[in-house]
Amino acid sequence: MDRLLLRGARVVDPASGLDGVRDVLVAGGRIVSVAAGITERPPVTIDLDGLVLAPGFIDMHVHLREPGQEHKETIASGCAAAAAGGFTAIASMANTEPVNDCRAVTEMILAEARRHGSVRVYPVGAVSKGLEGRELAPIGEMVEAGAVAVSDDGRPIEDASLMRRALQYARLFGIPVLAHEEDPSLVGDGVAHEGPVAARLGLPGWPAAAEDSMIARDLLLAEDVGGRLHIQHVTTGRGLELIRWSRARGVPVTCEVTPHHLTLTDEAIEGFGTNYKMNPPLRTEEDRRALVGALAGGEVDAVATDHAPHHRDEKAVEFRQAPFGVVGLETAVPVLLDRLVRTGEVPLPALVAALSTGPARALGVAGGRIAPGEPADFTVLDLERERTVEAAGFRSRASNTPFEGWSLTGWPVMTVVAGRVIHDSR
């Protein structure tokens, strides 16, 4: 499919300030023209009348599990899930087995992604060898192999000196450090947000200060050494205030929020459902509203799923014993369209920006804009499509979703990567 015309869609491209009906002509995997009434008729024309055409969505926080935990997810199944969920690119975290802390693992991930040829995969290398938080991983060789960022996600970097050096080294290679903010000395054995709900259920509490204090530390370190810091899965209003304060001082910090923290609170754990057990935990309604307000106001750079597949047997245990994490690639977009855009809480262009332009800039990768010369990566949305979330139909190998049974209006219906349709459910 060398030349392709996408005709008559409502093109929403915040990076170009465009929100209107346009045709988009593609050739050689790149955008050739964006205009009303393109007269050329290439061999393939797709009519998108009544649908929204957005820059390809990028999920900058995904756990693909391969190598080492293929019973949970593989690169192939994770990419298929991403394509079905409207994502054209994903960033894969380093906590595989073995850990992605060297050139060989980075190259293996990229080779496997190319073999399955669907969405773009951007490997994220580890900050520390083995994610042990003691010695820096060889950041330079991982970047040479194709890593776009470094992170010990799943674990915090407890050693402030190591974090400082990570920011310094990452700066040399022009990549960001993606920070999982958690002070283990404050979390202890906490499994749920510290508050009335956890107390009522008799669950060990996880204080918000465990996240906020680490955000504050890393913001100061980034200001000190000038590195690019990206705060992962922010969950508290106070964390957002700290980021605003740091930005006002000129620190180029970016941040992300997740669909589950935008739509759920700690009240959801009342039934001890393990698919509501996340890291960081679900917070209060006040925190949730702060996240939604920041997203609507353009203060949040990215919405990222933190897609964390687990086998059903691992989640079918008592709440305290269950692993943290939920899947999100196939539910993120409809959950956000239904619960935030349709309700008027978040404008559609703001959501599109946080799913495309923002993550592209935070990671320093191509995409996020519909303009001549840009990669022909698109996500097509049907804002009127009604469906119910059924985990049994997921492309992912995992089904640990908190959104099972939710009736949602507004779904991704087509995904295009480099001018090639890789998913079409119109």
Contact between residue 59 and residue 97 where contact means Cβ atoms under 8 Å apart:
no
Pair of tokens at residue 357: 């332009």
Which run of H or of E encompasses 206? strand 205-206
Q: What are phi and psi of 256, to 5 degrees?
A: -135, 160
List CB contacts of 155: < 8 A, sequence separation 6 or more. Answer: 95, 131, 133, 180
Of 218, 287, 301, 306, which is the active-site residue?
306
The residues with which 12 forms a beta bridge, in sequence order, are 19
Strand pairing category for 87-92 and 57-62: parallel
List CB contacts of 375: < 8 A, sequence separation 6 or more. Answer: 29, 30, 31, 56, 366, 367, 418
Alpha-carbon span 122 to 110, nearest angstrom? 8
Which run of H or of E encompasses 355? helix 348-355
Q: Is 131 left (phi over 0), alpha (psi -120 to 50) or beta?
A: left
Alpha-carbon span 92 to 267, nearest angstrom? 30
The angle that helices 75-84 and 103-116 make with each other, rounded to 10 degrees, is: 50
Residue tagged 């700290």 (tokens): 242
DSSP string of 291-326, one letter each residue? HHHHHHTT---EE---B----HHHHSS-TTTSPS--
Closest to 330 in 3D by CA, of 380, 390, 273 = 390
Using alpha carbons only, give the angle 20, 362, 144 rounded to the nearest 5 degrees: 125
Alpha-carbon span 234 to 256, nearest angstrom? 6
Q: Is 306 a catalytic residue?
A: yes
Contact between residue 162 and residue 104 where contact means Cβ atoms under 8 Å apart:
no
Closest to 258 in 3D by CA, of 224, 302, 205 = 302
Active site residues: 306
